[in-house]
A and B are shown apart, each in its own frame.
Chain A
Amino acid sequence: MLRLRPAVPQELASADLLEGVYERAIETMEQVPLVAEIGRGIQTPASELAEHPASLLESSTAEAILSQPPMPSDVTWARVRQSVRAEAQTFLSRHLVLRRLPFAMAIVAASVVITFVVRGTGEHLPTITFSDLASPPSLEMTVLRHGPGH
Chain B
Amino acid sequence: MIVSHLTRLCSPLRAASSFVGWVAACVMTVGLATAQAPKVKSASASIVQIPTFSSIESADRSTDRTTVQLRRFRDAAGVVVAVRELLVVDAQTLQAQAHSLTFLGVDGHLPGSAVSQKWQQTYAKLANLYFEQSFHVRNLTKAQANYTLHDIGPSVRAGRGARRTVVFPSQLDKSIWLLDVDCATGLVLYAVEFDVQLRVLSEVEVVTFSASASLPLVTVSSQAATFGSAAAQLGNPVGLVNPANHAVAEYSLHKVEVRVDPWNGQQKLVLGYSDGIDQFFVTQRPGSLDPFAGLPGAGTLDAGSTIARYRDQAMTALMFWDDGVAFEVTGSGALQRLDDLAKQIYAQALSQ
Residues of A within 8 A of B (CB): 124-133, 135-150
Contacts and interface: CB of A to CB of B under 8 A. Distances in A.
B152 interface: no
A136 B306 CA distance: 17
Interface of B: 73-77, 81, 118-119, 121-122, 126, 129-130, 133, 201-202, 262-263, 281, 301, 303-312, 314-315, 317, 319, 328, 330-331, 339, 343, 346-347, 350-351
A129 to B, nearest CB: 6
Contact of A128 (B74, B130, B306, B314): B306
6 contacts: A125-B350, A128-B304, A131-B306, A136-B315, A136-B317, A137-B308
A93 B34 CA distance: 86
Contact of B315 (A124, A131, A145): A145
B301 A144 contact: no
B301 A124 contact: yes
A148 B317 contact: no
B76 A130 contact: no
B304 A137 contact: no
A90 B29 CA distance: 85
Nearest to B307: A130
A114 B201 CA distance: 57
Contacts of B346: 128
A130 to B, nearest CB: 5
A131 to B, nearest CB: 5
A149 B75 contact: yes
B76 A150 contact: yes
B121 to A, nearest CB: 7
Given A144-B130, A148-B121, A128 B312 contact: no
B69 to A, nearest CB: 16
A129 B307 contact: yes
A12 to B, nearest CB: 112
B306 A146 contact: no
A147 B73 contact: yes
Contact of B339 (A125, A130, A135, A148): A130
Contact of A130 (B303, B306, B351): B306
Nearest to A125: B350
A130 B342 CA distance: 10
Given A127-B304, A129-B305, A147 B129 contact: no
A15 B305 CA distance: 123
A137 B319 contact: yes
